[in-house]
Amino acid sequence: MKICFIGTGYVGLVSGVLFSDLGNSVTCVDNNHEKIENLKNGIIPIFEPGLDELVIKNYNAKRLFFTTDINHAIKNSDIIFIAVGTPTAKDGVSADLKNVYAVAQTISKNINKFKIIITKSTVPVCTGDEVEKILRKKNSSSKFEVVSNPEFLREGEAIRDFRYPDRVVIGSNNPKKTIPILKKLYEPITKKGAKFISTSRRSAELIKYAANAFLATKITFINEIANLCEQVGSNVEDIAIGIGTDARIGSRFLRAGPAYGGSCFPKDTKALTKIGKKFKTHMSVVETVIKSNEKRKNNLADKILNILKNPKGKKVGFLGVTFKANTDDMRDTQCLKIFPKLLKKGVKLSYYDPTGEKKELKKIRFIKNTKEILNNNDLVVIHTEWDEFRSLDFKSIKNKGVKIFDMRNLYQPNEFLNKNIKYYSIGRPTNEKKA
Ligand code: UDX
């Protein structure tokens, strides 16, 4: 089967490369010449552990191709995935679909035989209907089918998530024609145990938003429970185990931390409230989740200021600045909301990140290693759960009065009992009475 991915962003690149690794012939298209030339040379534009080797392997095996020639790629393919970005629009809430519609126009001009057009980008319910309308203007409906196939890849875990997903969701309004073809495409994955779920196109579009909004709700819920734990002296990790072992609740995505961030949850929760408005359905739970998550970043900045007591001139070093570990993605990362508040109070900030210096943090000093962060600050904030922060060398700290605020609960409070370090974490008793 000849496949084409339009858009070599996170979703398009990872999925395209992994479909080629399953033996398919895959062409990845992008309008950015530099990106395409780099990919041909094995230089990948994102940080995703293991992806570079797979690009080189499949490119050399001539199963994976990179091009800017979108017309040729479409003509030459049986299955076309639209995987362009759907960022938040200028109104600050809706998904901006102009890239999706522009690609649909281009596909429309190049349908030379039957093709399945798949929206892989996260798109609001009914977008498939619009794509179909665009294609119908120039083509008979027997020449194409528009299908929704949402992705559930987590950054940093994308290769594993692609190979071993819980489910594959296909939304098609003509299942007789499309499902056998797509079942075959996904067979190497479903054979290993992933569920194949066939729905209508609109349902599949909504599944993606509902999944992300539900996960964001779960995280926000446990974060609020963590706030309560801090007041009553309970331990949020015990609560997470205590509720997560109930199969009706499930144990995953119950890690309390510094609010959810990233390229998906913030964008998709907002877009879902907008979809609700469009269809006159108040998404009150999701609206509350968004508000609570925003407030949390503000509260964490306040907590840091409280720990510092007199913040002016105090030095605070952050370990990790991305929205989670194993990614270099700074989109909607929590610290971007925390830093301005600290700077305003005269705090001197610095940071170390395993993925290097960040253009978003021009005013903040980048430090090249954890050791310097540990030794030169009044407070060290563990903001991201990178493995290299899990066994920090606290013994080497010369600065005796140092405080640690572990926003990812990587350590246990009692590990610090006999050390000269004040340790604060999320939703657990500290080794000092109150921050
Ligand atoms: C998410 C979805 O998980 C994925 O299925 C979807 O397709 C894309 O969006 P991603 O944004 O890469 O993936 O990261 P994820 O691992 O889901 O984490 C999102 C945010 O929630 C991060 O800031 C993370 O730190 C936070 N999080 C996650 C928690 O605070 N606690 C948890 O238990 C899990």
* pLDDT one-digit tens code per residue, 353-367: 999 999 999 989 999
Place of tokens 């690009």: 55
Query: What is the band of 433 on the pLDDT scale with cuts at 50, 70, 90?
Result: very low
DSSP 61-89: TTSEEEES-HHHHHHT-SEEEE-----B-
CA 48 / ligand 1 centre spacing (Å): 15
pLDDT tens for 297-346 read 999 999 999 999 999 999 999 999 999 999 999 999 999 999 999 999 99
Residue 210 to residues 194, 203, 204, 278: CA-CA distances in angstroms? 19, 10, 10, 16
Task: Identify whether 335 is a catalytic site residue.
Answer: no
259 CA closest ligand 1 atom index: 30
Q: What is the mean pLDDT of residues 37-44?
A: 95
Nearest CA to ligand 1 atom 1: 154
The Cα 97–Cα 104 span in angstroms is: 11
232 band by pLDDT with thresholds 50, 70 and 90: very high
* Percentage above 70 pLDDT, the chain: 99
In this prediction the pTM is 0.95
3-state SS assignment for residue 355? coil
pLDDT of amino acid 419: 78
Pocket of ligand 1 (CB under 6 A): 151-155, 212, 215, 219, 253-255, 257, 260-265, 323-324
Q: Tell me how far the alpha carbon of residue 295 lies from the centroid of ligand 1, in angstroms.
A: 18
Identify the residue whose tokens are 């989670």: 324
Q: Whose CA is nearest to atom 13 of ligand 1?
A: 154
Question: Is pLDDT above 90 for 418?
Answer: no
**Helix (H, G, I), strand (E, B), or coil: what is residue 422?**
strand
Spatial separation of the C-alpha atoms in residues 88 and 97, rounded to whole Å: 9
Q: Which protein residue's CA is at the shortest distance from atom 9 of ligand 1?
A: 264
pLDDT value of residue 435: 42
Average pLDDT taken over every residue of the chain = 95
The Cα-based distances of 13 to 6, 18, 23, 233 in angstroms read 9, 8, 16, 46
Averaged pLDDT for residues 158-173? 97
Q: Which atom of ligand 1 is nearest to the CA of 151?
A: 7
Mean pLDDT computed over 9-19 = 96
CA of 264 to the centre of ligand 1 (A): 8
DSSP type of residue 240? H
Atom of ligand 1 nearest to the CA of 323: 23
Contact call for residues 219 and 269 (beta carbons, < 8 A) = no
Q: Average of pLDDT values for 268-279? A: 96
When pLDDT is averaged across residues 171-197 and rounded to a whole number, the result is 97
Pocket test for ligand 1, best of 254, 265, 323 (most atoms within 8 A of CB): 265
Token pair 């995987």 in the structure block, residue: 83
What is the pLDDT at residue 187? Answer: 98
Query: Which atom of ligand 1 lies closest to the CA of 325?
Result: 25
Residues of the chain with pLDDT > 90: what percent? 93
**Per-residue model confidence (pLDDT) at position 127:** 96
What pLDDT score does 431 carry?
57
Query: Quick check: 163 and 239 in contact, CB under 8 A?
Result: no
- Annotated catalytic residue: which of 4, 28, 229, 264? 264
Nearest CA to ligand 1 atom 6: 152
The residue whose CA has the least distance to atom 27 of ligand 1 is: 260
Report the pLDDT averaged over residues 393-408.
89
How far does the centroid of ligand 1 lie from the alpha carbon of residue 260, in Å?
Answer: 7
